[in-house]
Structure 1
């Protein structure tokens, strides 16, 4: 049975950080949500928080797993399709970050599978349930463009995701495809990148949400955007 609901977003990595912040704001705006994360307990906590605001479905698992992607496809079908897909789930790699010549190759492969292959695989899987002129947002990083010592694994995976996104935008002009740098954020992942350091000067993920929602609402041309620069474009 299909439950037709308008304005539905699927967010991966939605149990914490930017994914959770996006889910909260979209719920406040009345969006119906399909939320994904690896660990069921924190994902259930997000569902319990937001279910009083909107319709929320959750599926816990690894988006790199084909069976889990099929679960997300079936859930999307019950919701009448997806308007917005936000590929937010990501993997940092070792903490602290090693130089490339000492980077464990088995872990580097996992980083690429999570940060590059899994987002594309999810888009491929969900294609039948992407609504007309659907919006795809791939969360990237300045490490995908800038050269930082010690960021060879994560940074190169985000560079690959950016190039993949750019090609997808050319191949599928019927979709709005964005690769978005949210900026440095005070998150668990960012803390893992700088173990033992004080990152309290970084902004909370909530500061990056308005710009991303601008993309969704205004449907800018497909391309790369800095989340925190977007609100100024409409002032």
Structure 2
């Protein structure tokens, strides 16, 4: 896939994997519509991306809100060369057992991972189908396949997000749709996991103690290599950090 001159929407762009992806995509020549809820951090990333010589627009807000997702797609179309999106935004809420989560926490996890992905597809896919091509990447997680006490809502939401991607791949075969499994990455989620109450903290602490964490820049570079290569081979499938 040729990234130079193409415009992509990226959610969760203000820090961690999202920030690293924004910079790596910009170095590859992609224009970006960057979305996150944290205005100050998002504006900083947007300036950094623009400094690399590409167009970038910050869209502050929750991608699980209809107006935010719709505006992000409109902004990408204004820039031109709209090619698709990477849904990277994530919320963990680690520690509590499922029944100990508040309704608001449960809703936030599912909204961030699943509803936001649905809304991005709702507004992006009709445009991409008219063009006859496009790319949709959902940043996934091994939690979708491995139940564990302390991340029940997150794992269930990721499983639903994976399914959403796979179903979209069948519904719109002309749009390359895939899940990207980024590996175990040193992000704010990891820090939240290590500080969580309950047994889930031991798992996250072990990742750090055993030196199993990779840096956001490493997994971002891997995804960009996949996109710049032949992403179509992963249509309706999971691409991993090791596939790059």
What CA deviation, in whole Å up to 9, does each residue of 1:37-92 have, x standing for no partner? 11110011111112121111111111111221222122122122421310001111
CA distance, structure 1, for counterparts of residue 237 and residue 141 of structure 2: 10
Matched, 1:224 2:237: yes
Q: How does 1:123-162 map to 2 (within 5 A)?
A: 123-130=121-128, 131-162=131-162
Tell me how far 1:176 sits from its aligned partner.
0.4
Do the aligned residues in 1 keep the contact of 2:8 with 2:76 (CA within 8 Å)?
no
Measured in 2, the distance between the counterparts of 1:221 and 1:70 equals 27
Q: Give the Cα separation in 2 of the matches to 1:129 and 1:42.
A: 29
| Structure with greater helix percent | 2
TM-score, normalising length from structure 2?
A: 0.85
SS in 1 for 2:20: helix
Unaligned segments of structure 2, at least 5 residues:
197-204
d(CA) in 2 for partners of 1:226, 1:174:
18
CA distance in 2, matches of 1:70, 1:164: 19
The structure 1 segments of at least 4 consecutive aligned residues displaced by more than 6 Å after TM superposition are: none
Q: What's the offset of the Cα at 1:226?
A: 4.3
Aligned-partner Cα distance in 2 for 1:18–1:132: 29
Report the number of matched residues: 225
For residues 141-198 of structure 1, what are the alpha-carbon distances to aligned partners after superposition, in whole Å with 9 as ceiling and x for unaligned?
A: 0000112221111001000111111111111111101111111111012211221758
Q: TM-score, normalised by structure 1?
A: 0.89
Secondary structure of the 1:91 match is coil
1:17 aligns with 2:13: no
Who is 2:57 aligned against?
57
Aligned to 1:91: 91
Matches of 1:118 and 1:156, distance apart in 2: 15
- The worse-fitting range, judged by mean Cα deviation, of 194-203 and 126-135 is 194-203
Higher relative contact order (CA 8 A, sep 6+): 2
When the two chains are superposed, the root-mean-square deviation of aligned CA atoms in Å is 1.9
Q: Structure 1: where are the runs of 5+ without partners?
A: none
Contact conserved, 1:80 with 1:129, CA < 8 A, in 2? no
